[in-house]
Structure 1
Amino acid sequence: MEQMATFARATLTDLPAIVAIYNQNIAGHMVTADLAPVTVVERRPWFEAYSDAYPLWVLKDEIAVIGWVGLEPFYGRAAYAHTAEISLYIDQDQTHHGFGQASLDFVQTQLPRLRINTLLAYVFSHNLPSAKLFAKNGFETWGHLPDVAVLDKQLRSLDILGRHYL
């Protein structure tokens, strides 16, 4: 049975939970290219870069933040204003409860208001759970960058997954 969660714009008080969830994923070398945990202080400029045009949301259950999803500008040029990069992280204790799917469903409802019609996701090729989630939601591989990262002393490839929402 899927659990219920609500989405809300992230506030500065959510940043410690956002960072904690992000840091959970570093050791596994499947989700992020960071190799060491980050701090709240280090992530504050990243957090403050989110805006009304490219928001950051948290997923909350009845008790706490259990995940986050954010949209960031792609490439920073005006012609790409309707394209965004999506980042999605779920607390490791909350995976396999449908929160990833719920996050993509929620973001899709926000795209018309944000005037975003293309989403890109950067997913390591060996991150099969994320690749499967995005593929299930109509994302296709638009790019493959072979052996561009070294994670746990292994070369890893990065896929650029994309979907148009026209």
Structure 2
Amino acid sequence: MSGLTPSAIKVRYAVLDDAPAILEIYQQHIPFDDINLLSAVHWIEQANSHRPMWVATIDGELIGWCSLESYYGLKVLDHMAELSLYIAKSWRRKGIGRQLMAEVMANALCINLTNLVVNVFSGNESSIRFFESLNFQRYGALPRVVKMPHHTEDIIVMGLEITG
């Protein structure tokens, strides 16, 4: 972890004051998206005890975040959540994602989750490898659905079954 200890990373629930940093980190990953500060505020406001949003900080600096959202909002899928995970560029590959995922896994069964799904752009090979290292399986792909300014990518759908 490049000198970082897991205890140096603090994970907590997101609060409204985190919205600017959450937006900034999101835009580092997807700079061409039309997301604004109100969108980030909305994400935080939609989070709750069953579909939380966590942030990772070091010395008060927000360096990453993850959220769990209901999958399609259908009652028959209440046991499932879509995971979003974003780490600030300067903090990638330092264990921040693993620390956030440890928080997700520590809470998953308590909030009645047995399945996680993540959608990864096919060009994001490091994220695909990261989730595979956490035992996520490739469920399939949505071909050519990501229309970027200069190219098109697939979405790789990955999932994890959580067992007690």
Equivalent residues in 2 for 1:21-32 (5 A)?
21-27=25-31
Write the deviation string for residues 33-90 of structure 1: whole angstroms up to 9, x where unpaired: xx24532123322321111110000101113111101100001100100100100011
What residue is the counterpart of 2:147 in the other structure?
150
What residue is the counterpart of 1:79 in the other structure?
76
Equivalent residues in 2 for 1:13-92 (5 A)?
13-27=17-31, 35-36=32-33, 38-92=35-89
Give the 3-state SS of the residue equivalent to 1:106 in structure 2.
helix
Contact 2:22 2:40 in 1 (8 A): no
Whether 1:138 and 2:135 are equivalent positions in the alignment is yes
Contact 2:54 2:100 in 1 (8 A): no
Give the 3-state SS of the residue equivalent to 2:17 in structure 1.
helix
Contact 1:2 1:98 in 2 (8 A): no
Give ranges in structure 1 of 5+ residues lacking alignment: 28-34
What residue is the counterpart of 1:31 in the other structure?
none
Equivalent residues in 2 for 1:112-127 (5 A)?
112-127=109-124
Structure 1 runs, 4 residues or longer, greater than 6 Å off: none
Whether 1:165 and 2:159 are equivalent positions in the alignment is no
TM (normalized to structure 1)?
0.90
- Identity over aligned pairs, percent: 28
| TM superposition shift of 1:130 | 0.3
2:83 alignment partner AA:
I
Contact 1:26 1:37 in 2 (8 A): no
CA RMSD across the alignment? 1.3
Give the 3-state SS of the residue equivalent to 2:144 in structure 1.
strand
**C-alpha separation between the residues in 2 aligned to 1:103 and 1:87?**
11
Give ranges in structure 2 of 5+ residues lacking alignment: none
Count of residue pairs brought into register by the alignment: 159
Contact 1:141 1:162 in 2 (8 A): yes
| TM superposition shift of 1:2 | 4.6
Give the 3-state SS of the residue equivalent to 2:120 in structure 1.
strand
Give the 3-state SS of the residue equivalent to 1:162 in structure 2.
strand
TM (normalized to structure 2)?
0.91
**C-alpha separation between the residues in 1 aligned to 2:66 and 2:3?**
18
What residue is the counterpart of 1:10 in the other structure?
14
**C-alpha separation between the residues in 2 aligned to 1:52 and 1:23?**
26
